[in-house]
């Protein structure tokens, strides 16, 4: 699975569906990605941390050997642009390739969007590739289709209306979509029939993520009657739109959104799902030693879509937190309306304290991460644990 956003969610959803009761050839699933590598289980207990989303070739081969010994049938892998550009997957027999989307990220490495896309696109010209699953809402769909070998089976999924570019692909489309407080309810049309999918997942991007997973398992031969109930039960992956109800009834959301497009989409999702009179409080930072150009863009997205914005630190690494925040502020039209607290723990506490009973607090950028890196010092830090600690503090009346 490759793409700017959605790789982790799609990987988790595919693994969950393939291990569902009644799935044909149900077997162990190996997972390699942002959350770790190992045999997949719903609690992720067997995953070991990986330094990168996609490990080096030797490490990946070692994981695959372990998977074979453990009786794994399928390996679901998140594939980064770095890995493709650096040939970390050379020689691996990749059967299916999924493309989620493309938006600005990693330009500190690739320098421009064209090079970034070229790295992602390598996966779709892979020797021996059997199946391609492509989001037809992506502007890159035609370019990707042109790279496919004639014998590759193509599946196209998306929220919009498919056009001539994907006429020769198996298509999965949305006929009707309703958003609600808990998630979404969608009537989906597939080459093997229609079905209603209603998982407890927030955001239009998660509709697309579920469709990508559905296309993948259908292409592998899973019956629609098995795939849909399995996908209806999926939960948000660790650090992806994870919700916690605060003692006063407000909702905190932990999400890994660390690009302008991801933050934009997450905030739009919360706006779609919030109740009348509810406000959105957004606290986030931008990583140090990474693409500096996205910093003002992320701040602009937050200012545009959130009611309250608190800028803070997010792994500043060797850079000055104040300098990073100053670059973020360059994207603001009303900088005096934005709060600044460089200490991320204090910023999270401030955001939670400001939330009334109907409000949503988005804590973005770190997601599943459990450390914070500042000037070479790596310390334990989890957004989720910060919220738990705040809820359990004496003046909050206990955890929700």
pLDDT digits (tens, 9 = 90+) for 92-112: 999 999 999 998 888 888 789
State the CATH number of the domain containing residue 173: 3.40.1190.10
The predicted-structure confidence for 365-384, as pLDDT tens digits, reads as follows: 999 999 999 999 999 999 99
Q: Is the model's pLDDT at 23 over the cut of 60?
A: no
Q: Is the pLDDT of residue 399 over 50?
A: no
Q: Flag whether 290 is in a domain.
A: yes
Range of the domain at 78: 7-232
The predicted pLDDT at position 397 comes to: 44
Same domain membership, residue 168 and residue 111: yes
286-325: b (≥16 Cβ within 10 Å) or e: bbbebbbebbbbbbbbbbebbebbbbbbbbbbebebeebb
Domain stop point among 201, 232, 263: 232
Residue 228 sits in the same domain as residue 250: no
Is residue 85 domain-shared with residue 215, that is, in the same domain? yes
Q: Are residues 276 and 156 in the same domain?
A: no
C-beta of residue 348 within 8 angstroms of C-beta of residue 387: yes
How many structural domains are present in the chain? Answer: 2
- Looking at residues 206-216, what average pLDDT do you find? 98
Residue 179 lies in a domain: yes
237 within a domain of the structure (yes/no): no
Question: In the structure, what pLDDT confidence band is assigned to residue 25 with cuts at 50, 70 and 90?
Answer: low
**Residue that is last in its domain, among 192, 213, 232:** 232
- 347 with 268, same domain: the answer is yes
> Is the same domain home to 223 and 262?
no
Residue 396's pLDDT band (cuts 50, 70, 90): confident
- 26 with 140, same domain? yes
On the question of pLDDT at 347 being above 80, the answer is yes
Across 96-110, 145-159, 174-188, 215-229, least confident range: 96-110
Q: Are residues 74 and 52 in the same domain?
A: yes
292 and 347, same domain (yes or no): yes
Q: Are residues 227 and 285 in the same domain?
A: no
With beta carbons less than 8 A apart as the criterion, state whether 214 and 231 touch: yes
Domain presence at residue 1: no
Mean pLDDT of the region 214-232: 96
Alpha-carbon gap, residue 373 to 97, rounded angstroms = 33
- Which residue shows structure tokens 């067997």? 46
pLDDT higher than threshold 80 for residue 323 = yes
Better-predicted residue by pLDDT, 22 or 147: 147
Domain presence at residue 71? yes
Same domain, 223 and 316: no
Spell out the alpha helix ranges (H) of the chain.
7-18, 57-70, 81-85, 107-110, 113-121, 141-147, 204-219, 224-232, 260-273, 294-305, 321-329, 344-354, 383-392
**Residue 114 forms part of a structural domain:** yes
Residue-wise pLDDT tens digits, 249-266: 999 999 999 999 999 999
Q: What is the CATH number of the domain that holds 298?
A: 3.90.190.20
Please name every residue paired with 243 in a beta bridge, in sequence order, or none if there are none.
Answer: 253
**Domain-ending residue, one of 232, 257, 278:** 232
Both 342 and 215 in a single domain? no
pLDDT in tens, 262-271: 999 999 999 9
pLDDT tens sequence across 270-296 = 999 888 899 999 999 999 999 999 999
Pair of tokens at residue 280: 């959105």
């Amino acid at each position: 699975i490759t793409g700017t956003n959605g790789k982790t969610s799609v990987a988790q959803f595919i693994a969950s569906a393939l291990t569902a009761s009644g799935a044909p050839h149900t077997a162990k699933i190996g997972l390699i990605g942002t959350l770790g590598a190992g045999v997949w289980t719903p609690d992720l207990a067997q995953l070991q941390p990986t330094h990168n989303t996609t490990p080096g070739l030797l490490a990946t081969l070692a994981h695959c050997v372990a998977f074979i010994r453990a009786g794994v049938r399928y390996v679901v892998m998140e594939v980064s642009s770095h890995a493709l550009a650096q040939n970390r997957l050379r020689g691996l027999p990749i059967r299916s390739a999924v493309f989620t989307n493309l938006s600005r990220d990693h330009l500190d490495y690739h320098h421009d969007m064209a090079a970034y896309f070229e790295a992602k696109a390598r996966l779709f010209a892979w020797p021996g590739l059997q199946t391609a699953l492509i989001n037809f809402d992506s502007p890159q769909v035609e370019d990707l289709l042109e790279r496919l070998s004639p014998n590759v089976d193509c599946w196209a999924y998306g929220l919009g209306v498919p056009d001539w570019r994907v006429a020769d692909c198996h298509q999965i489309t949305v006929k009707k979509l309703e958003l609600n407080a808990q998630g979404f309810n969608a009537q989906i049309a597939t080459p093997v029939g229609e079905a209603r999918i209603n998982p407890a997942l927030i955001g239009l991007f998660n509709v697309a993520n579920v469709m990508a997973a559905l296309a993948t398992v259908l292409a592998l031969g899973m019956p629609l009657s098995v795939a849909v109930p399995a996908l209806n039960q999926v939960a948000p992956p660790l650090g992806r739109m994870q919700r916690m109800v605060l003692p006063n009834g407000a909702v905190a959301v932990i999400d890994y959104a660390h690009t302008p497009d991801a933050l934009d989409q997450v905030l739009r999702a919360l706006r779609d799902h919030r109740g009348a009179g509810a406000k959105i409080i957004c606290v986030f930072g931008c990583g140090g030693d990474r693409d500096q150009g996205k910093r003002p863009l992320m701040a602009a997205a937050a200012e545009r879509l959130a009611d309250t914005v608190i800028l803070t630190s997010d792994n500043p690494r060797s850079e000055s937190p104040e300098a990073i925040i100053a670059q973020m502020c360059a994207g603001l039209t009303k900088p005096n309306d934005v709060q600044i607290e460089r200490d991320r723990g204090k910023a999270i506490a401030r955001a939670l304290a400001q939330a009334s009973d109907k409000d949503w607090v988005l804590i973005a950028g770190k997601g599943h991460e459990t450390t914070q890196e500042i000037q070479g010092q790596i310390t334990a830090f989890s957004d989720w644990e910060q919220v738990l600690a705040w809820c359990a503090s004496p003046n909050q009346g206990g955890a929700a």
